[in-house]
Structure 1
Amino acid sequence: MKKVVKFGGSSLASAEQFKKVGYIIRQDDTRRYVVPSAPGKRFAGDTKVTDMLYSCYLLALREEEEQEEEFEALLQAIKERYDEIISGLGLHLDLEPEFRVIRENFSRKIGRDYAASRGEYLNGLVMAEYLGYEFIDAAEVIFFKESGNFDARKTNRVLSERLSSCERAVIPGFYGALPNGKIKTFSRGGSDVTGSIVAKAVHADLYENWTDVSGFLVADPGIVKNPKAIDVITYRELRELSYMGATVLHEDAIFPVRGEGIPINIRNTNAPEDKGTLIVEATCRTPRFTITGIAGKRDFASITIEKAMMNGQVGFCHKVLGVFAENDISIEHMPSGIDTLTVFVHQDEFEEKEQKVIAGIHRAVEPDLVELESDLALIAVVGRGMKATRGTSGRIFSALAHANVNVKMIDQGSSELNIIIGVRNHDFDAAIRAIYDIFVTTQI
């Protein structure tokens, strides 16, 4: 059996956290491939190493004499973060040569992505030394195309070949290389993606993603007090929740393992005895509750277009969507009726172009009325159990009515996996609490 284990920044922020990670890995001989993030915050108010590296690189770009001293001081502070970890682990590892290379490359203005990636790179060196595992630089096995898009085929071929002869290894997360050898990073949280890529390459039995929470929760703990944990969630449910704001796992991390049928287990470094959340392709396990999770986002605007006999006009929706495309505005949701069509967009994207969009809609479809509404929120209620349960929408309406929340829109996907609800921004928290209570609290 083979497991790939990825540890987030909070799990590797200090020597004490490193020791917890070392204990977890050594407790299970099948945890053979390790993907570390850069050191995160050690305490409230602390700064992540990645953010320190960004700041340091910006100082290097300025080329001002008075900035040189500040640059050297910040680079030394970053080195001290690593030296503190190395000393706390009792290792004999000197990173001074690595920092000389970093200093030189920063002065050459080698790139922002290179700067950001050094946190994972250095932490990978420390982790490999601590575990006695082989270190593999991600730039040698993770590849991007000239366009900047991830090169999945080449990566899987090279990485599989490299790891086939390597029993245990540490591969830093978050970055890879372009065809010219220049460092390229994934978006923030991209170490999750690296872990998934490695799991696919070695045909892992399980991909464990260790962080500072015991898996996914049914709702945001900042809104619902002590929400229940999700035991098992499918990839489709996870995608819906991640898209609507749930951020425990980078949403792109599921694609490499999904095609291989490799489960992901979200675990807590600080509570390794917790089983966490298992993410799977499909399951016959009966969910604990009708819903799996609730997530949402604020700050949307809606554009409602009314036109008599709209449903009889071929291409009406296509013409409307073309107006938004011409203005580079992405569509979030689009419920419709016989004579109405409503488009939900991100308010900050729309506000600057609203008059151009309205004019474009008038030219494209000659509507009877165009109505705008702002400060709206969208909430996704997701769950494979909803398909087999009658009256789910009715229970949502009832719960929101009890909480005095006015529903602006409700729409169910054709898969019956999710229901999208539109409310005003100021009703967002109350709506989520009401939905949680009706489906979770009252069933306990």
Structure 2
Amino acid sequence: MKVVKFGGSSLASGPAVENALKIITAEAERQVVVTSAPGKRFDDDIKVTDLLIKYAHEINHGRNGLEVADRIFQRYVEIGEYFNLPLEEILPLKEILLNLPKEHYPNKNYLQATFKAHGERLNAKLIAKILQSQGVKARYVDPKDAGIIVTGSPNNASVNPESYQLLENFAYDADEKLIFPGFYGYTLAGHIATFSRGGSDITGAILARGFHADLYENFTDVDAIFSANPKVVDQPQPIHTMTYREMRELSYAGFSVFHDEALIPAIQGQIPINVKNTQHPEKRGTMIVPEKGFKPETVITGIASGKHFGALYLHKYLLNKEVGFTLRILQILNKYKLSYEHMPTGIDDLTLIFDRDTLNDELIDQICNEIQNEVSPDHLEWISNYAIIMLVGEGMRDRIGVIRDIATPVAREGISLRMVNQGASEISIMLGTAAKDADRAVAAIYDYFFKQEAQGE
């Protein structure tokens, strides 16, 4: 059995959905289908999820939101009409939309989560109806009926492990297509809660593990995962096969195909994942597989960079002799419920690297002031434009001198490395640079490694 997930761009319009349906019906093994909300049809278009967020905003501010609700409904009408689906088959979706403001919600966060989730919910219902109209045995499955239970906050939920047992016991016919909405589950109290943005990937991974799928096919708008960002490197090589941990490391630093937590359920279930293009399903795409038995073909599998970081640098003589120095800093961060990403240290130096999107100028000043008062560093500096570059590859473990090979092209470009850190697994090396230098560094490293390997050097 295969679990098949389609992204928003793959379900944005009638022709896009038609491509997806051809893929679904091409193989009997493609039995569990996960839908996203309709995405953008063109560059200036608005995603249905964004319209639903606007709808929730209107309701939260005492307005009826009918104009926005109608815009949302028309997106589904457009898709349904493309398949000659009678309007009376589509009208129940409008009723669901208009009833959303009438439901009871514990607070505004639950309201927003429920509204957001309906992009996927309505699309799954519509696609099930379209398949049925084509004579395909298809069934819409609500996450509550399947047992997808979540905990956590309404807009950042986590799957409850009990869900996997419930999915194992879910009854279905061997010849039917099960159409699941992605992105959300139900709390123990029965309220909708969504995974983080991009959460349909998480749903797909949950279902792949719960149903013990042979393969999780994730259809998107790219032919494969590339070894570097095509906006930074001209025509980067596609990655044919990579491991789970390579994908995780690269996702963290900026690979945009997956949210960095999206694969965890599939990884836990050891389910192979195939990333493919809805427009070109015949292409092999990228396989993401367990580490066991994997034989790397290259030293570096991929390079990714993120420019959304900031760093707090401290210098104090004899820092390494001062008991509790780091603890006192971490207690300040805990006071503000703030996590750090990395903490490279030296004998007299310590750097805290943060996701800058979690901070604002006021919070930065407050933290800096408290750290100055608490530990009295000789020098304290906030670096706002910090970038992290991740170089990832299972082949690194068998290559002596990788750090030298990385530093050489970077030095030729006149780029200063603020941090070099190799993970204990030896499959990743993290570099810190100024944000303005990140793209040049990625391009230089890519050319050094991949052009050499292409030439057989």
User: Under a length normalisation based on structure 1, what TM-score does the superposition of the two structures give?
Assistant: 0.92
CA distance in 2, matches of 1:334, 1:100: 52
1:200 aligns with 209
SS in 2 for 1:416: coil
CA distance in 2, matches of 1:129, 1:119: 16
Q: Given that residues 15 and 89 in structure 1 are in contact (C-alpha distance below 8 angstroms), is that contact kept between their aligned partners in structure 2?
A: yes
Q: Given that residues 3 and 207 in structure 2 are in contact (C-alpha distance below 8 angstroms), is that contact kept between their aligned partners in structure 1?
A: yes
Runs of 5+ unmatched residues, structure 2? 106-110
2:310 aligns with 301
Distance 1:197 1:34, change over 3 A: same
Runs of 5+ unmatched residues, structure 1? none
1:85 aligns with 79
Q: Given that residues 243 and 294 in structure 2 are in contact (C-alpha distance below 8 angstroms), is that contact kept between their aligned partners in structure 1?
A: no
Distance 1:109 1:441, change over 3 A: farther
Q: 1:158 aligns with which of 159, 166, 190?
A: 166
Q: 2:417 aligns with which of 407, 414, 427?
A: 407
1:74 aligns with 68
CA distance in 1, matches of 2:309, 2:205: 32
Matching residue's letter, 2:37: A
CA distance in 2, matches of 1:189, 1:284: 30
Which deviates more, 97-106 or 236-245?
A: 97-106
Matching residue's letter, 1:85: I
Q: Give a deviation string over 1:195-249, Cα, whole Å, max 9, x none.
A: 1111111110000010001231111111111111111121111111111111201
CA distance in 1, matches of 2:13, 2:410: 45
Q: Does residue 331 of the first structure (1) align with residue 330 of the second (2)?
A: no
CA distance in 2, matches of 1:301, 1:98: 45
1:49 aligns with 48
Q: Does residue 248 of the first structure (1) align with residue 257 of the second (2)?
A: yes
CA distance in 2, matches of 1:358, 1:76: 49
SS in 2 for 1:171: strand
Q: Give a deviation string over 1:78-129, Cα, whole Å, max 9, x none.
A: 2222122112123346121231232122245751122111111111112212
Q: Given that residues 60 and 107 in structure 1 are in contact (C-alpha distance below 8 angstroms), is that contact kept between their aligned partners in structure 2?
A: no
Which deviates more, 370-379 or 288-297?
A: 370-379
Q: Percent identity?
A: 37
Distance 1:354 1:252, change over 3 A: closer
Q: Does residue 139 of the first structure (1) align with residue 151 of the second (2)?
A: no
TM-aligned CA deviation for residue 354 of structure 1: 3.7
CA distance in 2, matches of 1:52, 1:300: 29
Q: Given that residues 289 and 443 in structure 1 are in contact (C-alpha distance below 8 angstroms), is that contact kept between their aligned partners in structure 2?
A: yes
Tell me the matched-pair count: 438
Q: Does residue 390 of the first structure (1) align with residue 411 of the second (2)?
A: no
Q: Does residue 106 of the first structure (1) align with residue 89 of the second (2)?
A: no
Q: Give the aligned CA root-mean-square deviation in angstroms.
A: 2.2
2:351 aligns with 342
TM-aligned CA deviation for residue 24 of structure 1: 1.2
Alignment of structure 1 residues 196-275 onto 2, 5 Å: 196-275=205-284
TM-aligned CA deviation for residue 147 of structure 1: 5.8
Distance 1:442 1:29, change over 3 A: same
TM-aligned CA deviation for residue 364 of structure 1: 4.1
TM-aligned CA deviation for residue 432 of structure 1: 1.0
Matching residue's letter, 1:6: K
CA distance in 2, matches of 1:109, 1:52: 21
Q: Does residue 312 of the first structure (1) align with residue 321 of the second (2)?
A: yes
Q: Given that residues 80 and 90 in structure 2 are in contact (C-alpha distance below 8 angstroms), is that contact kept between their aligned partners in structure 1?
A: no
Matching residue's letter, 2:445: I
Q: Give a deviation string over 1:358-408, Cα, whole Å, max 9, x none.
A: 443345444333344332211111111111111111111111111121222
Matching residue's letter, 1:145: T
TM-aligned CA deviation for residue 45 of structure 1: 0.9
SS in 2 for 1:286: coil
CA distance in 1, matches of 2:228, 2:216: 24
SS in 1 for 2:262: helix
CA distance in 1, matches of 2:292, 2:245: 12
User: Under a length normalisation based on structure 2, what TM-score does the superposition of the two structures give?
Assistant: 0.89
Q: Give a deviation string over 1:324-374, Cα, whole Å, max 9, x none.
A: 333333212211122222222234626323444344334544433334433
SS in 2 for 1:251: coil
CA distance in 1, matches of 2:74, 2:371: 58
Which deviates more, 181-190 or 84-93?
A: 84-93
Distance 1:205 1:57, change over 3 A: same
Q: Given that residues 90 and 126 in structure 2 are in contact (C-alpha distance below 8 angstroms), is that contact kept between their aligned partners in structure 1?
A: no
CA distance in 2, matches of 1:392, 1:368: 35
Which deviates more, 255-264 or 89-98?
A: 89-98
CA distance in 1, matches of 2:365, 2:21: 58
